[in-house]
Amino acid sequence: MKPIREFEKHYQVVVVGGGLSGMCAAIAAARNGASVALIQNRSMVGGNASSEIRMHVVGANCHNSKPNMMETGILLELLLENKHRNPYHTFSVWDTIMWEKVRWQEGLDLYLNTCMETAETKDGIIQSICCFQNSTETRFIFTGDIFIDATGHGTLGVLAGATTRVGSEGRAEFNEPNAPEVPNTDTLGNSLMFQAVDRGEPVEFIRPEWAYRFSEEDLKYRSHVESVRSISDGGEPTEYEAGASSKLPEFYNLDSGYWWIELGGQYDDIIAQGEEIRDELARCVYGVWDHIKNVSDHGAQNYDLSWVGFIPGFRESRRLEGQYILTENDVRANRVFKDAVAYGGWPMDDHVRGGIMDFDKNPSRCFNFEGCYSIPYRCYISKDIGNLMMAGRDISTSKMAYGSIRVMGTCAVGGQAVGTAAAMAIRYGIQPPEMAEHMDELQQTLLKQDCYIPGYANHDPADLARTAKVSCSSAAEGCSAENVINGITRTVGSESNVWESAPLADGPAWLRLDLPKAQTISEIRLTFDPNLSREIMPSITAMVRNRQCKGMPDELVRDYTVELRNNNETVYTQHVEGNYQRLNTLKLPEPVLADSLILTVTATHDYPAARVFEIRLY
């Protein structure tokens, strides 16, 4: 057999990095018609959300403290699929669900175990990247029209010669109130996580010789037992629990790793020294576990390590400079940009440079704000490489805004926006910056594909439902039937934007759209309510799992029938049983002429009434 085979492949869109941002970018680009390659250097997709690192996906809803803010689109589709098939939050099952969405996506080729090593750029345009797939001893040269850097580190950008930023800007640069007076190159650190289980009998822990020793005094600012809560109480919330409220919720748990076992923030080069930092982190993880098991009584006699991560999660490295740099002021002002394509709401979450070794400091500083902000398209396109887009944590922000955009929910919706824009640019035969001229079309496409852009509503002229007269069997107060065509698919402030019927126990609920005249219909899109205020993501932390609903979200419509009529004669009927997704797209086998639609809901997953946010007709 011949070692080191070499192949050249061409794709319209090449995405490097298979974390949630890269996955969503690749899926969106493929669904919008582009030929796509997703290059991932690991044996699985998901990045920090996969079983390699096991971070739970958080986002603008800040662990349920900002109502109705949860991300939708491809991310929600993945999470609902997982909720349906993985009730006990098994991470390898979640890995498989993420993998299958990419693997079986038409138009998308996934290259696992494939590391991008070099890039060739000519006249400010990336021509190709060279990658090595270690599982098959194969070298690939990928040529592409548009490249998306979703590596987290901005590696493709660096290889292509794009401008990067590391660390904090000084306060004066963007006039950010909480930026340091003087710029610095400190980053947030890396972490290794762990999981522990109660074995039902005492389990001994033998400390490896190389592990550090930590005293109660060393860990006094790091909540791991009840006794240290009083010190942190009223202080800064933890990374996981930071929300709109600054009250520290209960988060001392023995069953999963501590985000504050963190190192690397003050190293000269957090990427180049990554191996050294990992070894130090291993000494810290086993040292903290020794502290919990052997130093004083933490109620952990029966607890035993069931998993310890060995690939450190990176929080921060480089950011690539785009056509706009999002700042703390944009975040605080909940700014709605003209070219908004995504949004965030997580607090600006900064950490101490020394990580766990900064014994005398709270490990994080969280700057909370009300509401959510939009992220402009310009943050996702390189300012100096014409065909380079960014998705994930390497997008164009200041360090202050970075503290908020870096969470995976925000990375994922940004990824979907970038992938959608890339496919549209391919269709128009233009480079990503020229998409500015097609911003309305991009925003409308994102809304149609179940993304949320604060301040924007459906005004798609192709949506025939918008002209309909709406009637229904019954409507709860403030939840009228007309809401299904008002263009907004979630509750915002005091506007419910939903149709809610009377209790289904009184009989099936129906909603009817009457079009001004008969039209040719080929597709029906229904948007239901999975309760965007309550988390459903997989988590290694019992407290986070236990506060989630059992089974599918109660509010989701489960069984329904859609009927199209023309002159009161049925021309198409579809009955759906067991639905568990928010966006249901029903493609008709062939177009029909119809002047009305009747949706009849017979069951939800447990909520007493039907709830529908939107109906679209194409």
Q: Tell the smallest beta-carbon distance from residue 261 to ligand FAD (Å).
A: 8
Binding to ligand FAD by residue 298, rule CB under 6 A? no
| Residues binding ligand FAD: number (CB under 6 A) | 38
Looking at 15-23, 25-33, 221-229, 296-304, which segment touches ligand FAD (CB under 6 A)? 15-23
Of 498, 519, 539, 232, which is closest to residue 361 (Cα–Cα)? Answer: 232
Place of tokens 């309909």: 468
Per-residue three-class SS string for 179-201:
CCCCCECCCCCEECCEEEEECCC
10 Å CB burial of residue 592 (0-12, 13-18, 19+) is middle
Residues in 43-102 at the binding interface with ligand FAD, rule: CB under 6 A: 47-48, 55-58
Largest CA distance in the chain: 82
Residue 16 binding ligand FAD, by CB under 6 A: yes
For the bound state, the minimum distance from the C-beta of residue 405 to ligand FAD, rounded and expressed in Å, comes to: 8
Shortest approach of ligand FAD to residue 518 CB, angstroms? Answer: 47
Euclidean distance between CA atoms 35 and 30, whole angstroms: 6
Report if residue 191 touches ligand FAD, rule: CB under 6 A. Answer: yes
CA distance 414 to 24: 8
- Minimal distance in Å, beta carbon 259 to ligand FAD? 5
Instruction: Tell me the H-state helices in 461-551.
Output: 542-546
**229-288: which residues touch ligand FAD (CB under 6 A)?**
239-240, 259
Residue number, 291 or 351, with CB nearest to ligand FAD: 351
Task: Candidates 74, 282, 400, 411: give the one binding ligand FAD (CB under 6 A).
Answer: 411
Does position 128 interact with ligand FAD (CB under 6 A)? The reply is no
**Does 347 participate in binding ligand FAD (rule CB under 6 A)?**
no
150 or 270: CB nearest ligand FAD: 150
Determine if 42 is a binding residue for ligand FAD (CB under 6 A). Answer: yes
Instruction: State in angstroms the smallest separation of the CB of 47 from ligand FAD.
Output: 2
Binding region for ligand FAD (CB under 6 A) out of 3-11, 133-141, 365-373, 401-409: 401-409
| Identity of the residue, 32 or 155, whose beta carbon is nearer to ligand FAD in the bound complex | 155
Compute the CA torsion angle 76, 81, 84, 85 (nearest 10 deg). Answer: -140
- Tell me how far apart the alpha carbons of residues 524 and 591 are, in angstroms, rounded to a whole number: 11
Q: Using CB under 6 A, which of 107, 144, 152, 376 touches ligand FAD?
A: 152
Could you write out the DSSP letters of every residue in 372-393? -EEEEGGGGBBSS-TTEEE-ST
Give the rounded distance of the alpha carbon of 562 from its chain centre. Answer: 32
Do 251 and 261 contact (CB within 8 A), yes or no?
Answer: no
What's the CA gap between 125 and 145, in Å, rounded?
Answer: 9
Kindly indicate which of the ranges 215-223, 308-316, 563-571, 588-596 contains the residues binding ligand FAD, using the contact rule CB under 6 A: 308-316
Is residue 364 a contact point for ligand FAD (CB under 6 A)? no
**Alpha carbon distance, N-terminus to C-terminus of the chain:** 54
Inter-residue contact 591 to 521 (CB < 8 Å): yes
Query: Closer CB to ligand FAD, residue 116 or residue 601?
Result: 116
DSSP, res 173: H
Nearer to ligand FAD by C-beta: 390 or 465? 390
Residues that bind ligand FAD (CB under 6 A): 16-22, 39-42, 47-48, 55-58, 115-116, 150-153, 155, 191, 239-240, 259, 313-315, 392-393, 406-409, 411
